[in-house]
Amino acid sequence: MHELTYEEVGATAGRMPHGYHHVRARRVIGRGPGVFATAADALLAGEAQRRAGARVEASDTPMREGTRVTMRLGIGILSFRIPCLVVWADRTDTVAGFAYGTLPGHPERGEERFTVTLTPSGDVVFDIVAFSAPGRWFTRVGAPLGRAVQAWMTKRYLRALDPR
């Protein structure tokens, strides 16, 4: 698909591929259809990333399959360009989300999936699933730092949609 930098497109929906670092994180962000609708709108508009501190440009809002997303983290010379392509997006009455994969120039190779679910009990759950490996020389050299940044951003994403 396009120029993605990995082959396992869609693997965040099921069995995670070997040879990558895996992330699975979850947070209950509220209760009820109103909280779900607000979170779904925000998620598909890229607000989890914005509220977590990334500058986000998306070719489509709400995000859909084929949307090109470019994020920037950092300041000045220490700013990283993070290009991605949405490989899955959906919205129903109880599930909303998208997954994007890495494009050339991204510091990592892999995929990340963000899903908000309204459970039968009424909880609104935000899930993040990802697999990644260093994609550039500096992320290979600084792999431990890269994992720390990924963990930090995952926590920020999970808090970003919590209205409490």
- What are the pLDDT digits (tens) for 8-43? 999 999 999 999 999 999 999 999 999 999 999 999
Is residue 13 a part of any domain in this protein? no
Q: Domain containing 28: what range?
A: 21-160
- What are the pLDDT digits (tens) for 123-154? 999 999 999 987 776 666 666 777 777 888 89
Stated pTM of the model? 0.92
Is residue 2 a part of any domain in this protein? no
Domain count, the chain: 1
Is residue 4 a part of any domain in this protein? no
Are the C-beta atoms of 43 and 114 separated by less than 8 Å? yes
Q: Specify the CATH number for the domain of residue 120.
A: 3.30.530.20
CA distance linking residue 73 with residue 129, whole number of Å: 20
Residue 70's CB: how many other CB atoms inside 10 A? 17
Closest C-alpha among 40, 28, 54 to residue 159? 28
Is residue 51 a part of any domain in this protein? yes
% of the chain at pLDDT higher than 70? 92
Predicted local distance difference test score (pLDDT) of residue 134? 75
> Is the per-residue pLDDT at 164 higher than 80?
no
State the average pLDDT over residues 43-47: 97
Is residue 15 a part of any domain in this protein? no
Is residue 9 a part of any domain in this protein? no
Is residue 151 a part of any domain in this protein? yes
Predicted local distance difference test score (pLDDT) of residue 1? 53
Q: What is the DSSP string of 100-132?
A: EEE-TT-SEEEEEEEEEEE-TTSEEEEEEEEEE
